Amino acid sequence: MPQAPTLPTRPVRAATPLSSRTAVNAVLLMFAVNGMLLGGYGGSLPSVRDRLDLDATQIAIMLFSGGLAGITTMQIGGRLADKIGARRIVFAGLPLLIAAAVVLAFAPTYPIAIVAGLLFGLGNGAMDIAMNALGVQVEAARRRPIMSRFHAFFSIGNFVGAGVVLVMAKALGITGSGIVLPVMVTLAAIAVAVLVLLVRIAPEAAVVSHSTDGGARTKIPAMAWVLCLMSMAFGLSEGTAVDWSSLHVTDVAQVDPTVGALGLIAVSGFMVIIRLFGDGLVARFGRRTVVRYGGACAAVGYAMVALVSSLPLLVVGWALVGFGVGMIAPQVYAVAGHLGGGRVLAVVVTFGYATFLAGPAIIGFLVNHVGIQHAMVVPALLCVGVVFLASTLPKTDADLENARTAR
């Protein structure tokens, strides 16, 4: 009896090892494209406001809706990342961000812009947790710190995304509301190309169990709640630096707003610098020491901007703030991920994200009542709190591993 012809089989793609250089590059791309899309979104908001004739309240509602959506998918994405692998959650979140960029590009009305904001929040919440969880697994597989560099590429991507708005406006000679469509479509196209590449090179993430040998569900470790407090402290401090530094320099130094932008430039620039070199510091001194000195550095910076008024000293103060807060988040998130995977990471990141969103509004309330310089005392005190809370962090990665296995 003749045998049936055999059909050619498609070769199975070999999984990228978590410890490989390719895996590192894939996660760097994830952080960079996430930052780029969010930077383009933030940089396009003034033009969206002009195109749809929105007021400050409508913009705030749009951002708040996206923030709530992000918090929701952070919780869902963190748990799913542990159950089915963080790689899959990244590939669920990134298409949502791309869709958000396209919807915003063509949004003809405010309700459609709200939909775009919701899509940005849903996509970012899921992708944020998943790429951090995957980054933690790559770091664990390589057995040396790398989370700081991942976060540096997010900051670089954020800068590029916002910069595309200015570059394209100048190159195309378009100003005002007309720039939204070409910018968002361009960023979406770049993100699609990155997504196609990531499908080929992104590593397969490990599945994380939260059950004991007897089948009982493990509790979230007590250390996670300390990490949440730290996350809230640096979330407000970082949010204040990003949203208030330029206004602070403008008002206190009595300079033109374009000169006042030096405050945000100092914060962003020094945050990127320390994140690019932070992994070496962690390898040499440990996460506890790096977080402690980061909190101290940011506290000194905030104390300076609360006390001085000359432009050079204000810029130095904000540079110290950026230098300090840039050290903290990657290490706190790394400890959370190593301690309890995506589930613990989701809890810790959510606290920081919520405070990052609400913090600038809290500072705004204080500015109205005590003035912009005195308001900076609050983040200064919170950064001092980070210094003391850092003493609870594991001194070495071996101590962190013991804390993880002991729970």
Residues 177-205 pLDDT 10s:
777 888 889 999 999 999 999 999 888 77
* pLDDT-above-90 percentage for the chain: 24
Give the Cα-Cα-Cα angle 383, 388, 391 (nearest 5 degrees).
130
Rg of the chain taking only CA atoms, in angstroms: 22
> What's the rounded mean pLDDT across residues 82-93?
87
Cα separation values, 237 from 15, 377, 384, Å: 40, 11, 11
| CA dist., res. 189 & res. 170, Å (int) | 20
Split at pLDDT 50, 70, 90, the class of 307 is very high
Query: Above 90 in pLDDT, residue 383?
Result: yes
Enumerate residues 6+ apart whose C-beta is below 8 A from 371.
Answer: none
HSE-up of 377 (CA within 13 Å, CB side)? 8
| CA dist., res. 103 & res. 108, Å (int) | 9
Q: What is the DSSP letter of 176?
A: G
* pLDDT-above-70 percentage for the chain: 88
Quickly list H helices, 261-310: 262-285, 287-307
Check: CB of residue 235 under 8 Å from CB of residue 352. yes
First-to-last CA distance in the chain? 62
Query: Above 60 in pLDDT, residue 407?
Result: no
Bridge partner list, 211: 217
> What's the rounded mean pLDDT across residues 65-87?
85
| CA dist., res. 153 & res. 299, Å (int) | 25
Domain segments of the chain as ranges: 21-201, 222-406
Q: Which token pair is 305?
A: 């901007």
Quote the pLDDT of residue 8: 47
Query: Above 70 in pLDDT, residue 341?
Result: yes
3-state DSSP helix/strand/coil % of the chain, to nearest 5 = 85, 0, 15
Indicate if 222-406 has the same CATH topology as 21-201. yes
Label residues 139-149 b or e (16+ Cβ within 10 Å = b).
bbbbeebbbbb
Identity of residue 50: D
Mean pLDDT value across the chain? 83
| CA dist., res. 101 & res. 97, Å (int) | 6
At which residue do the structure tokens 């008024």 appear? 309
Class of domain 222-406: mainly alpha
The dotted CATH code for 21-201 is 1.20.1250.20
Does this model's pTM top 0.85? My answer is no
Taken in order 60, 66, 72, 78, is the CA torsion positive or negative?
negative
77 by DSSP, 3-state: which? helix
Q: Which token pair is 310?
A: 């000359």
Quote the pLDDT of residue 170: 77
